[in-house]
Amino acid sequence: MQCLLWLLLSLWILCLFWTRSEGQLIRIPMQYQASFMASRRQHRAGRTSLLAKYNVVGGPEITSRDNLGATETLDNRLNLEYAGPISIGSPGQPFNMLFDTGSANLWVPSADCSSKNLACQHHHRYNSSASSSYVPDGRRFAIAYGTGSLSGRLAQDTVAIGQLVVRNQTFGMAMHEPGSTFVDTNFAGIVGLGFRAIAEQRIKPLFENMCDQHLVDECIFSFYLKRNGSERMGGELLFGGVDKSKFSGTLTYVPLTHAGYWQFPMDGIELGGRIISQNRQAIADTGTSLLAAPPREYLIINSLLGGLPTSNNEYLLNCAEINKLPEIVFIIGGQRFPLQPRDYVMSAANDDGSVICLSAFTLMEAEFWILGDVFIGRYYTAFDVGHRRIGFAPAA
Ligand SMILES: *[C@@H]1O[C@H](CO)[C@@H](O)[C@H](O)[C@H]1NC(C)=O
Ligand SMILES: *[C@@H]1O[C@H](CO)[C@@H](O)[C@H](O)[C@H]1NC(C)=O
Ligand SMILES: *[C@@H]1O[C@H](CO)[C@@H](O)[C@H](O)[C@H]1NC(C)=O
């Protein structure tokens, strides 16, 4: 099984190298687990990991009210994610990675991790002894997740993404991966696409090295995520520009509030002709599937949708009535970005196999919004590093 996976990934990376680039645009195909119906617990897991990521205390349901749910939650896989290939070292060792704009470090499992660490054992591991371009760093690193700390040592090596070869990239070799959060993920590690200001130990992120080493004409990357994609055709991450064939109209750009997270000002949100949120900060995060709202908006939106609250801060919606729900309009840079019910209603499987409908508007005990794949899937997103701005346009 392991051998087969190796072979498939190697072939895939080989194919990537054969695909000719146009100018300096590098296309990374994204995998999407289309046939995968998330269980209710997995939805909760997504939320729990989101809260941990932004260091937000999740409220009572995480500490006591639903201990069972919370524990199981953390033990479940988080593979509602899009992943794509990179290779590290010389010769290149292939890895399938989560490209996450909500964090800024790169890490992969280490060949030296304990045989008892399942997450590490289940994925490709980086073997520094097998790479002629490896440079030891010596420093330890740790990243906090909901289930505990991911830890190991830092290394420096060459990282290839498509035809782009980034030299001297510092990254984490994970010796310990917490709980079973990462055991069954379709990715081995994470490529953080946030800015250096939020990186552990202020390590220079991959795209910053890419730009400094003049590997791309324009210091910009863009995401096209298919909401109904497949494992082979889940969308595309493009380094070096935007692909006009993947969106309609023009991109609406707004300047970033800070170059840390991909954080920008959002004018407001409209539901049924009513403005229900005004002048909030929002963060574009490809590493989550959800739309996380501040408490007030979370309550208003879900009540207006006629949702039935559960003890887990979820809102159940009537699957038979989805088509009657209103569109919800995000107003950004003076432009309207509507989401339809088919965009913001998520289906999930109960333990007995029955399917329920959940609102994608989840609770963030903070006064900002997180816009995950529900939004980025509907709106092509340009992450303009050079101009410190973010742009959105309707995805084709
Ligand atoms: C790492 O690579 C070296 C050199 O190819 C090899 O001798 C060693 O067994 C590998 N280690 C692991 C854990 O795979
Ligand atoms: C990488 O590091 C080596 C050794 O410090 C240096 O000679 C080389 O110029 C660096 N390459 C790039 C592209 O920064
Ligand atoms: C998603 O794709 C599947 C298979 O290609 C198709 O049967 C289904 O109708 C699609 N759903 C939507 C909402 O487009």
Per-residue model confidence as pLDDT tens digits over 140-151: 999 877 667 789
Task: Summarize pLDDT for 5-58 with one digit per residue, the tens.
Answer: 565 556 565 555 444 344 478 888 777 654 445 666 666 767 777 777 776 544
- Ligand 2 neighbour 156 (Cβ under 6 A): no
Pick the atom of ligand 1 nearest to 112's CA: 13
What's the predicted TM-score (pTM) here?
0.85
Per-residue pLDDT of the chain (396 residues; tens, 9 = 90+): 565 656 555 656 555 544 434 447 888 877 765 444 566 666 676 777 777 777 654 433 333 222 222 221 212 233 356 778 899 999 999 998 888 999 999 999 999 988 788 778 888 899 999 999 999 999 999 987 766 778 999 999 999 998 899 999 999 999 988 766 677 677 889 999 999 999 999 999 999 999 999 999 899 999 998 776 555 567 889 999 999 999 999 999 999 999 999 999 999 999 999 999 999 999 999 888 889 999 999 999 999 999 999 877 889 999 999 999 999 999 999 999 999 999 999 888 887 878 889 999 998 888 999 999 899 999 999 999 999 999 999 999
| Cα–Cα distance measured from residue 39 to residue 41, given in angstroms and rounded to the nearest whole number | 5
Residue whose pair of structure tokens reads 């004409």 in the numeric block: 217
Task: Summarize pLDDT for 359-395 with one digit per residue, the tens.
Answer: 999 988 889 999 998 999 999 999 999 999 999 999 9
Is residue 78 a contact partner of residue 33, using CB atoms and an 8 Å limit? Answer: no
| Cα–Cα distance measured from residue 301 to residue 315, given in angstroms and rounded to the nearest whole number | 10
Catalytic machinery residues: 100, 285
| Cα–Cα distance measured from residue 91 to residue 131, given in angstroms and rounded to the nearest whole number | 6
- Ligand 2 neighbour 168 (Cβ under 6 A): yes
Is residue 96 a contact partner of residue 6, using CB atoms and an 8 Å limit? Answer: no
Q: Give the number of residues written for the chain.
A: 396
Domain ranges of the chain: 28-59+66-239, 244-394
Closest ligand relative to 110 C-alpha: 1
Q: From the CB of residue 185, how many other CB atoms can be counted at a distance below 10 Å?
A: 21
- Domain 28-59+66-239 indexed as CATH 3.30.1280.10: no
Query: Hey, whose CA ends up nearest to atom 12 of ligand 1?
Result: 111
| Cα–Cα distance measured from residue 167 to residue 158, given in angstroms and rounded to the nearest whole number | 5
Q: Which residues, at least 6 apart from 390, have a Cβ–Cβ distance to it below 8 Å?
A: 253, 254, 256, 262, 264, 284, 381, 382, 383, 384
Tell me which architecture the domain covering 244-394 has in CATH. Answer: Beta Barrel (2.40)
- Ligand 1 neighbour 121 (Cβ under 6 A): no
Closest ligand relative to 111 C-alpha: 1
- Helix or strand (DSSP H, E) at 77: none
Residue 55 structure tokens: 């260091």
- Ligand 2 neighbour 167 (Cβ under 6 A): yes
Is residue 137 a contact partner of residue 170, using CB atoms and an 8 Å limit? Answer: yes
Is residue 290 a contact partner of residue 375, using CB atoms and an 8 Å limit? Answer: no
* pLDDT at residue 182, as a whole number: 75
How far apart are the CA of 213 and the centre of ligand 2, in A?
10
- 244-394 matches 28-59+66-239 in CATH topology: yes
Helices (runs of H) and strands (runs of E) counted in the chain: 9, 25
- Ligand 1 neighbour 180 (Cβ under 6 A): no
- Ligand 1 neighbour 132 (Cβ under 6 A): no
| Cα–Cα distance measured from residue 143 to residue 179, given in angstroms and rounded to the nearest whole number | 13
Closest ligand relative to 340 C-alpha: 3
How far apart are the CA of 34 and the centre of ligand 3, in A?
9
| Cα–Cα distance measured from residue 116 to residue 124, given in angstroms and rounded to the nearest whole number | 15
* pLDDT at residue 35, as a whole number: 44
| Cα–Cα distance measured from residue 72 to residue 85, given in angstroms and rounded to the nearest whole number | 29
* pLDDT at residue 178, as a whole number: 77
Pick the atom of ligand 2 nearest to 168's CA: 1
